[in-house]
Amino acid sequence: MTWNENGGRLGEEFFTPGSSSFTEFLAAHRPELLSIRRMLPDGVRAAPDQVPHGTTVLALSYRDGVLIAGDRRATMGNLIAQRDLEKVHPADDYTAVAFAGTVGLALDMVKLYQVELTHFEKIEGVAMTLDGKARRLAGMIRQNLGQAMQGLAVVPLLTGYDPSAPEGERGRIFSFDVAGGLYEKTDFHAEGSGSPYARGALKKLFRKGLDRREATLAALQALYDAADDDSATGGPDINRRIFPIVSLITEDGFERLPETETEELSREMVEQRRTRPDGPNARP
């Protein structure tokens, strides 16, 4: 795609005026590369027990920005398809995306979204605003609507640090529906099969001004509660040393919590659950 067969020069498509969207560029010149637009044959639906699905992801704002986390399990029906799936990814230096839903399409969508943001910045010379990033991801989800109706849905969760927002509100959270509907959430949110239980846990554990450690423990507790009631969500696997992925976005940018820190806090939480299996109570 990149080079002309004659002389190695760029093809004409690279000099054709257009928008700053890489997705639109591909749609115009190489639509077969866009997996989010491929449809199954008419009348065919994906069998839910034949395609790996990611389950629970969540996000919450805290004192320095926003935290985004996810469990590691992927399932195919009643089978565990993967125990160490990575559902949380940086989109750029100040934005992260996590996903629930069809794993293969979700990973393709994340990679395409990363390129989309980089391409926009190269073409326009400035980074896209956080609201613009949310709208752009909503448009990509909308392009996948046909496959979603055939059983191959992807439901991302987007977080970012917005320096233009008021102090204390710079960590922002956006959720989406399968039709590309865009919704900004306040304080916290969760997506996936275990999300009702994760949101219930966050409802009692969240408070304004959590520090980094408190926010991480709240996220781990919520994922633990999700795994406790939802068989598709994986809890901390102490024996295999597989723990949730936790990432933070602050004014310093994206940071994935070191594995050692996540393991230490996960072990601390599991030990606490020995005496309080239902987890901590809400603070007064």
Torsions phi, psi for 271 (to 5 deg): -65, -40
Calculate the alpha carbon distances from 194 to 65, 78, 235, 241 in Å.
24, 15, 11, 21
Amino acid at 228: D
Q: Is the pLDDT of residue 39 over 80?
A: no
The predicted model gives 216-231 an average pLDDT of: 97
Query: What average pLDDT does range 170-187 have in this prediction?
Result: 96
Q: How many residues does the chain have?
A: 284
Given a cut of 90, is residue 203 above it in pLDDT?
Answer: yes
Banded pLDDT at 148 (limits 50, 70, 90):
confident
In terms of phi and psi (left: phi > 0; alpha: psi -120 to 50; beta: otherwise), the region of 65 is: left
- Whole-prediction pTM value? 0.86
8: pLDDT strictly greater than 70: no
* pLDDT the model gives residue 3: 46
**Distances from the Cα of 67 to the Cα of 18, 57, 158, 190, 245, angstroms:** 36, 11, 11, 12, 11
In whole angstroms, how far apart are CA 236 and each of 60, 227, 256? Answer: 20, 9, 17
Element (H, E) at 148: helix 145-149
- In contact, 56 and 231? CB cutoff 8 Å: no
pLDDT tens digits, one per residue of 230-253? 999 999 999 999 999 999 999 999
- The predicted model gives 178-202 an average pLDDT of 96
Residue 108 has pLDDT above 50, yes or no: yes
What does the pLDDT look like over 40-81, one tens digit per residue? 566 656 666 778 888 999 999 999 999 999 999 999 988 999
- Note the helical H segments in 16-78: 22-29
Q: What percent of the chain has pLDDT over 70?
A: 83
Q: Is pLDDT of 177 > 90?
A: yes
pLDDT at 26: 62
Above 90 in pLDDT, residue 111?
yes
pLDDT band at 36 (very low <50, low <70, confident <90, very high): low
Q: What is the mean pLDDT of the chain?
A: 88
User: Counting Cβ atoms within 10 Å, is residue 254 exposed (0-12), middle (13-18) or buried (19+)?
Assistant: buried
101 conformational bin, left if phi > 0, alpha if psi -120 to 50, beta if neither? left
What's at 148, amino acid-wise? Answer: A
CA–CA dist 243, 237 (Å, integer): 6
Q: Quick one: pLDDT at residue 1?
A: 43
Among 14-18, 219-223, 280-284, whose mean pLDDT is lowest? Answer: 14-18
> For residue 283, is pLDDT > 80?
no
Contact (Cβ atoms closer than 8 angstroms) between residue 254 and residue 196: no
Give residue 172's pLDDT: 97
Catalytic residue set: 55
The pLDDT-based confidence of 275 (bands split at 50, 70, 90) is very high
Residue (of 160, 234, 195, 174) closest to 58 by Cα position: 195
pLDDT, position 21: 74
Assess whether pLDDT exceeds 70 at residue 29: no
CA separation for the pair 135, 61 (Å, rounded)? 20
Residue 4 has pLDDT above 80, yes or no: no
Question: Which pLDDT belongs to residue 53?
Answer: 87
